[in-house]
Structure 1
Amino acid sequence: MSPGGRVEAATERVGEIITDRPRTVIIAFLLLTAVFAGGMTQVSTSSGSTDSFTEDLPEQQALDDINEKFQGPFETDSETTQLIHEGDDVLTRQALLEMLSVLERVDQQDDLWMSSANGPAPAIAQAIDPTATTPAEQQRVIRHASDRELRSAIRALSERPSFERTLSDDFNSREAAASASITVITHDPPEGADEMQRVQTTIQSMADDADGSIHTLGSGIIDAEFSNVIGDSMSLVMPVVMVLLLTFLVIAYRDPIDLVLGLIALVMTIIWTFGFLGFAGIPFDQMMISVPVLLLAVGVDFGIHIINRYREETIDGTEPIPSMRLALGQLLVAFVIVTATTVFGFGANVVSDLAPIRRMGMAASVGIVFTFLIFGLFLPPAKIESDRFRERYNVPAFNSTPIASEDSGLGRMLAVPARISDRAPAMIVLAILVLAAVVGGYGAGVDNTFDTDDFLPPEEQPGYVDYLPASMTPADYTVTETVNIIEDRFATAESESVMIYVEGPFERAHALTALTAPNEDPPESFAVGPHGEASARSIVTVIQSYADQNPQFGELVERSDLNGDGIPDQNLERIYDELMASPYADSADDYLTEDRRAAKVSYTVDSEASQDEIATDASRLAEDFRYSATATGETIIFAAVSDLIYESAIQGLVLAIGLSALFLVLTYTILERKPMLGIVNVFPIIVAVIVLLATMRALGMSLNALTATILSISIGVGIAYSVHVTHRYTDEIGGGMESREALLTTLTGTGGALAGSMATTSLGTGALTLAISPILGDFGFLMALSVFYSFVASMTVLPPALQLWARWETIVG
């Protein structure tokens, strides 16, 4: 027996088992569903923060070293909480007392583990009375100090860069006024404690109760909002998806019993997939929200094809069992092909260097296999048993006709490409290739980015939230607003996003000269000084600032400067010792480690420069340092992740296309001995992806952490449309039809089911645009476009390609 014959025999055997023992099959699937339901209780939720994308990056490791070894008001970790105070003037007596009142409440609650607080209010109080070490004592100092004492303390502290950096850009030392400040609470939790989310949300509540406007920021709050955005997005998206799917299932099935069967199969798919996540220990994060939506959409596709194909046979008077066997004989092979190619599309993301993308690819791939098993092996026997129930109790059949036929308006419209392509398929295919090349060249310029803002909820909730019932109203989100305040009001926060971490012996002669030499002729995006030099802050600028304030120290620096460039070349150990004993000690700690073996240089960069330009220039600048140097900071790290995202997108796309094409070539060689059909099958979906990329560029959308997966996913989801068309076409050809007639039958029959599937899938995935997270909204919109493009390509690009293939087969055959 030929390979194709063996496949056909195996398919018939599966069809016989399903139709001969429907109840046994149903019971087996229900038992498995009960098992997977147990796994659902073990599903954990991950915040899905950007940390999971930056793990193991050299740039992130350098930033971790900086955060560990240097002190600074804008570096935060899991043991610090930032309080951002804004108002007309946060240095008034009342504003200082408001901040100290919050700190006192935190200090009084032992389970918040406050060990210290650094910010303008504590600093001013201790400048007046150094013995005031607790928030309560500092309040008394501020309350009883005269206005003159307060102003004098602020002016004295303004000479310290570390104090100035805790205040907003509009800080006026002469007027002793500023519109915003940052106070950092340091926590000392017990070993093994992991409750910063509870700690920081409690502090947030205390700050909200204060009279002034005090915002709270910390890793625990960020994680909490990341988690909330998952729950809120699911609660908004899934009901809409279900309503849309239900609406289109009603239109597609037009029969309540068939509708219920389809819904049961969809629910089972979700239970199996979530159960797998629980058993496998895969966390559910923002990236995963798209998975159940995709599975529901693909499941609807399978369900519509099963029911529609079955109806095509029964409407001609064929008995139910033979009709189902015939439908399964034609569809099971197509389902296997679709499942395999979809797994290739989704699974291609498993090769990504980014863990969240890998997890999503694995979960989606397994979910697609479950979808095939449930809709391919469970739904048919459930349909048989439901028809028996209908017959036994005389339940009316309602409308059991196929979605489209040759005589219907939809059928006639779907058949147009078959009629047009019959005339000059070679010219049409050539025109499509030329157009695709032009569009592809444009789409290749699509941008790629990575930013925390992609994952955070918007600062203002979308307008439709006002009309939601109370049970569906999203939580209040504050992180985005707080982050924007820091970026807008504090220059230091923005400029320190680009840093160079330098390792070397900084007590050696000329060490500081080596630290500043690269700044004289920096790359373009760093040349922001008045004479084209870099604007940098380092231990050198701290030394120079203190030298300007202290004549005695200035003389030491001048004596140690051998070449007159203002940078000491000797006596560095003594200079460091005196600096550490001065009011500038905190600032020195920002830029030089205690063992003097590592230094940090912070740069201001051109605000007009792109992320890629800054990252490239930072890498070049790091190479100019005499000592070992690594460029880091948020901009650099995000640029590195952005590059990985782009690489993952291209790798995933190439892998998805390559594996799908290879599989289809082998499949059609085995089944039909026509390997070129595999290439023809992939052709329209490649065109669809090219058009999708061009659309993204035209709309100003970029490839980010989630939308980058759209390319390989588009192959996985979209190829199902061309597979169904090609498989039905070859079946009709095998039955003796000519190519044109086979295409007409395929496009009016299978094309109708595909139209229904496209509508449900597009609107189902498009419902993600309602998600609170912007990145999910973009993904849903692009996914809907991808499905629509794939359907259109399968109905317009594939017919002339099939016609051309048929004529080629006639010539060579």
Structure 2
Amino acid sequence: MSWVDRFAETIMAYSRPVIAVMLVLTVVAGAGAGTIEQSSDLGQFQSDTTESEKLEYVEANFSTGPNNTTVAQVIVRGDNVLTRDSQLETLRLQQSFRENETIDRTLVDDRPTIGVANLLAIASITGEQQRELAATAAEFEAVNATVREERGALEERRAELNATQRELRAALDTLHEEPSASPRAQFDAVAANSSVELDDTQYATFNESAQLRRNAENESQIAAASRLGTQGVLADEYQDLERRSEDLESQADRLEELGGQLAEQQAALENATSPTLQEQIDAVESMNATEYERALDTVLGEESAGQLSGLAFMPTNYEAGSTSSNATMLMVTHQSEGGGGRGGTASDAVVDAQLAMQSIANEDVAGDGSSVIVFGGGVMSQEIENSMGDSLAIVGPLALLFVVVALLVAYRDLLDILLGLFGIVAVLVWTFGFMGWAGIDFNQMFIAVPVLLIGLSIDYAIHIFMRHREQRQHGGAYGDDDARGSMRVALAGVGIALVLVTATTAIGFLSNLTSPVPPIQDFGIVSAVGITAALLVFGTLVPALKVELDERLENRGFDRRKRAFGTGGGRFSQLLSTGSTAARRVPIVVILVAALVSAGGAYGATQVDTSFDQEDFIAEDPPEWTSTLPGPLEPSDYSMKENLAFVNRNFVREDSQAQILVEGTVTDPETVRRLSEAEREAADSDVAVPLSSDEADVQSPLRTMQRVAAENESFNATLTAADTDGDGVPDRNVEQVYDELFAVAPDEAAGVIHRTQDGDYEAVRMVVSTSGAAAMSDVTTEMQAIADGLDGNGLEATATGQTILFDIVQEQLMDTVIESLLITLVAVFVFLMVAYRLTKGSATLGAVTLLPVVFSVSWILGTMALLEIPFNVMTGMITSLTVGLGVAYSIHMSERYSLELERTGSVWEAMSRTVTGTGGALLGSAATTVGGFGVLVVAILPPLQQFGIITGMTIIYAFLASVLVLPSLLVVWTKYLGPDVSFDAPSDSSAVATASDGGQVTAASNDQDGT
């Protein structure tokens, strides 16, 4: 007795303990299902690459503002969104955002919302203040100049008077010492040498003092005479000097007053750049037409620059200075609490906030001819997750409904249908329980898992139930035609085939472990676990339950004998016999035609593209018929794909950026020169998106330096001193320039230059906004070319960014397709060769069994080329799935043919029984599997729709190859490599196929067959 016979005997002998153990295990396994978490983050598809490591380095060491923030782009569309009324509506919309608690709690403190309307308001508010400031500054300069001039004149006059006073004192001393000296002569000598004009009145005073000096009898009289001859003579001049000094003090007080007023006005102007929303609304409302046009030109004119330039908020085709536009953008910055919305995911708070923003926008602008798009990671994440849930809600019930309908046709028995459905549920419980215990998140790909397992599980059920029915219908050599005996024989008959099918299918799934894309690896593991669970459930639990229930019903008088699908003649039998008829008449022609078609498919395979794009995971608006579904099944509305297309065509997307990280000797002047060249190349690149100003949106150390230098005189002087040739690129003292840049503009500097805590400069980066409509491969190629130009000579340059990482995933998908196909083919080939060598004594039968699957692989790839379906995260697994799923059909056919060939010794008898018996089961399982996968075409996610179409076609091709091509291959194999059997024409009274009766044709069986 073989191991499979012993296994079947054990299951039937201990059916009740088997049921109890399997139910307990199902409960234990299923307990993990409650811990499954859902993830829609596209970042999970990224593997560990140099580019991803460098992007993590950039995010950790460079900053362009507050940490953990994410930006939503609110696009306002209308006939002309630049009218004053439209801009006021935009400001009121922002006010509504901030008044909403759900939104407001996520907004950053500093300028959470900013757009053209805000800049217009700021321009209005600051315009009058700037004019007042200019007037005050002009008066300050005038008074300051007057004070400086008068102070100098007073100092000069005081020096002249003091010098003249000294000369007058010296003249008095001379007159005292020389009595014969003439006062007039001494006075005239002083007048001649002094710049002070001295008149006769002053001489009279001097002469009087000279006489007093000569007649003085004591020191007091001498001092009095000296004062009269000096200060007395210059009394009027000193009095005038004192008056002018008092006037200067008044001017100085006025200058100090103006200085304080100027400081206050400057502070007020700085504060005016962040007025409240109500102040902004009031400012715009107060403008007349002329003032509004002037503010609009300030913000959107060709000369607009600096903080008041609004061109970055306008469509890329907007002409600077125009007063009309059909769209404008508002930036809303959220504090994301660690979830930045990268790759299509965002924190729950941000998701709620952006959904609330969209709801408020729809209410506020409804009916005024305008519309608002909220484009951000929160809305995108919500739509992706909704599409996952809606797809499951639609696909799951429809798949089960189709399976029920198909089983009604195949089984025509309520109990068998319920057992099949129970087995499917048990398999799903085991599978999702494993995901929970293993910590594998449920993502977009896993929506296909229930459908996949439903299809595969029902295959197992159909093969076991149909073989059981055959056995009960025709009996066996030992009378095993009761429920338990027939099931024992059925399990023994299909057991090996089911094990082989499970092993080969699991190999196909596990070949995805070679993929560098983590979710594809997880999908392979989960699917392999699921198919193994299907073998356990339908190989033990379901058969045990069936015999227990059948026996109970038969004991109560119910007949449980049912005819197997595809047997007993009829159209299905005739249809299934096509392959055996062709194999008997023209087997070589069948093989050649199959090979020829496969060659065409192989050529088509070279034309299949690869795709991994954020847009692939965004659902389109569901068809109208879905609105008729019951409430829980009715899908949500989806507008993100249309909105994404609009943003890609008209605006710079905040999440569409490429980055070039440069590490090494970044303070070398040669490095700065090469960065300047790289910046020009990036700006001229075809993938760089131009702003309304016709300039590419590029951030770099040089552009940051130039922008800061235009606003800061101190840094401008530093940069100019370091630029000896005047080309705008510092060619010396680069480290000093970096130091000064961090000193005057630390935030701007930290966005493009990495300075360590020790003050060393380790890396710089360049950020290029790329067109959302540009092909990812083009972005990667152009950015890598720029990075290659920077690489070397002490520098390591790497092109990175989300777009480039997605392009890498796209390339890895193609590697997955090729590697998984080769591994699956080789592994299954070796496995089948060894398995058939051990069980059938012929390794070549394993090769023959696999050959139709190779044909079907080429057919499905050719179909993908014809339908223009690319390889994506779902369809990229189709080659390994084709082998894994398709080989099951071939194994069942080969296994049954080998068994019947051993029983009957006739090729045509064995082939007839195989294609009508097993072929009928295959037709039923193919129909249910195709239908199960076919319902994926109504999924909301496009990759799932494509996966459903292609997988359904795969099953069809595998079935056709097994019932049309494999019979011819088996006939040729039998003729040249198989056992020595009869090729005589079949007899009409030939024994009808039974499952297994020990390999001998007996009278008992022939008697039964003839009935």
Normalising by structure 2, we get a TM-score of 0.72
- Give the aligned partner of residue 164 of structure 1: 311
Per-residue deviation, residues 103-125 of structure 1 (Å, max 9, x unmatched): 33444436334323233233333
- Give the aligned partner of residue 115 of structure 1: 109
SS of the equivalent of 1:624 reads helix
Output the amino acid matched with 1:84. Answer: I
Per-residue deviation, residues 220-260 of structure 1 (Å, max 9, x unmatched): 33222222111100111111111110110000101112112
Mapping 1:259-408, distance limit 5 Å: 259-317=417-475, 318-397=481-560, 400-405=562-567, 407-408=569-570
User: 1:620 aligned to 2:785?
Assistant: yes
Mapping 1:208-607, distance limit 5 Å: 208-211=362-365, 213-317=371-475, 318-397=481-560, 400-405=562-567, 407-423=569-585, 425-426=587-588, 428-430=590-592, 432-458=594-620, 460-490=621-651, 492-493=652-653, 497-503=657-663, 508-518=668-678, 526=686, 537-539=698-700, 540=702, 569-570=731-732, 597-602=763-768
Among 734, 742, 749, the alignment partner of 2:917 is 749
- Contact 1:453 1:480 (C-alpha < 8 Å) held by counterparts: yes
Among 39, 44, 47, the alignment partner of 1:52 is 44
Per-residue deviation, residues 331-384 of structure 1 (Å, max 9, x unmatched): 111111111111111122123211111111111111111111111112212221
Distance 2:835 2:49 in 1: 41
How much has 1:588 moved relative to structure 2? 8.2
- Contact 1:107 1:114 (C-alpha < 8 Å) held by counterparts: no
How much has 1:394 moved relative to structure 2? 2.4
User: 1:83 aligned to 2:74?
Assistant: yes
- Contact 1:154 1:173 (C-alpha < 8 Å) held by counterparts: no
Distance 1:555 1:529 in 2: 32
User: 1:205 aligned to 2:205?
Assistant: no
Distance 2:641 2:59 in 1: 22
Per-residue deviation, residues 428-448 of structure 1 (Å, max 9, x unmatched): 435544542343133123111
How much has 1:636 moved relative to structure 2? 2.2
Per-residue deviation, residues 440-470 of structure 1 (Å, max 9, x unmatched): 1331231111101111111x32232233233
How much has 1:760 moved relative to structure 2? 0.8
CA change 1:529–1:59 in 2 (3 A) is closer
Per-residue deviation, residues 373-432 of structure 1 (Å, max 9, x unmatched): 1111122122212221221222354x8111112633222222222232234545643554
Mapping 1:146-165, distance limit 5 Å: 146-158=288-300, 159-160=304-305, 163-165=310-312
Distance 1:296 1:204 in 2: 39
- Contact 2:93 2:361 (C-alpha < 8 Å) held by counterparts: yes
Percent identity, aligned pairs only, is: 31
Aligned residue pairs: how many?
A: 796
Distance 1:734 1:234 in 2: 46
CA change 1:493–1:155 in 2 (3 A) is same
Distance 1:486 1:774 in 2: 20
Mapping 1:561-710, distance limit 5 Å: 569-570=731-732, 597-602=763-768, 610-626=775-791, 627-710=795-878
- Contact 1:525 1:614 (C-alpha < 8 Å) held by counterparts: no
CA change 1:661–1:630 in 2 (3 A) is same
CA change 1:178–1:580 in 2 (3 A) is farther
- Give the aligned partner of residue 332 of structure 2: 185
SS of the equivalent of 1:422 reads helix
Among 93, 107, 123, the alignment partner of 2:84 is 93
Output the amino acid matched with 2:2. Answer: A
Output the amino acid matched with 1:752. Answer: G
CA change 1:269–1:353 in 2 (3 A) is same
SS of the equivalent of 1:210 reads helix
SS of the equivalent of 1:304 reads helix
Output the amino acid matched with 2:330. Answer: T
Distance 1:669 1:9 in 2: 15
Distance 2:469 2:813 in 1: 45
SS of the equivalent of 1:195 reads helix
Distance 1:475 1:462 in 2: 11
How much has 1:30 moved relative to structure 2? 2.4
- Give the aligned partner of residue 28 of structure 1: 21
- Give the aligned partner of residue 322 of structure 2: 175
How much has 1:160 moved relative to structure 2? 2.8
Cα RMSD of the aligned pairs, angstroms, is 3.7
- Give the aligned partner of residue 125 of structure 1: 121
- Give the aligned partner of residue 138 of structure 1: 280
SS of the equivalent of 1:403 reads coil
Output the amino acid matched with 1:205. Answer: S
Distance 2:655 2:540 in 1: 59
Per-residue deviation, residues 606-664 of structure 1 (Å, max 9, x unmatched): 97x85435433432331111543222344422221101111112222122222211211
Per-residue deviation, residues 481-517 of structure 1 (Å, max 9, x unmatched): 3322321211x33996444333456554344431243
| Mean Cα deviation higher: 364-373 or 502-511 | 502-511
- Contact 1:344 1:716 (C-alpha < 8 Å) held by counterparts: yes
- Contact 2:76 2:372 (C-alpha < 8 Å) held by counterparts: yes
Distance 1:606 1:362 in 2: 34
Distance 1:605 1:123 in 2: 26
SS of the equivalent of 1:215 reads strand
- Give the aligned partner of residue 240 of structure 2: none
SS of the equivalent of 1:464 reads helix
Distance 1:574 1:795 in 2: 79
| Mean Cα deviation higher: 419-428 or 249-258 | 419-428
- Contact 1:229 1:457 (C-alpha < 8 Å) held by counterparts: yes
How much has 1:303 moved relative to structure 2? 0.8
Per-residue deviation, residues 773-803 of structure 1 (Å, max 9, x unmatched): 1111000110100000111111122112212
- Contact 1:495 1:602 (C-alpha < 8 Å) held by counterparts: no
Structure 1 gaps, min length 5: 1-7
- Contact 2:69 2:335 (C-alpha < 8 Å) held by counterparts: no
Distance 1:93 1:155 in 2: 13
- Give the aligned partner of residue 14 of structure 1: 7
Distance 1:97 1:263 in 2: 61
Per-residue deviation, residues 557-592 of structure 1 (Å, max 9, x unmatched): 89976667675545767888999999x999988766
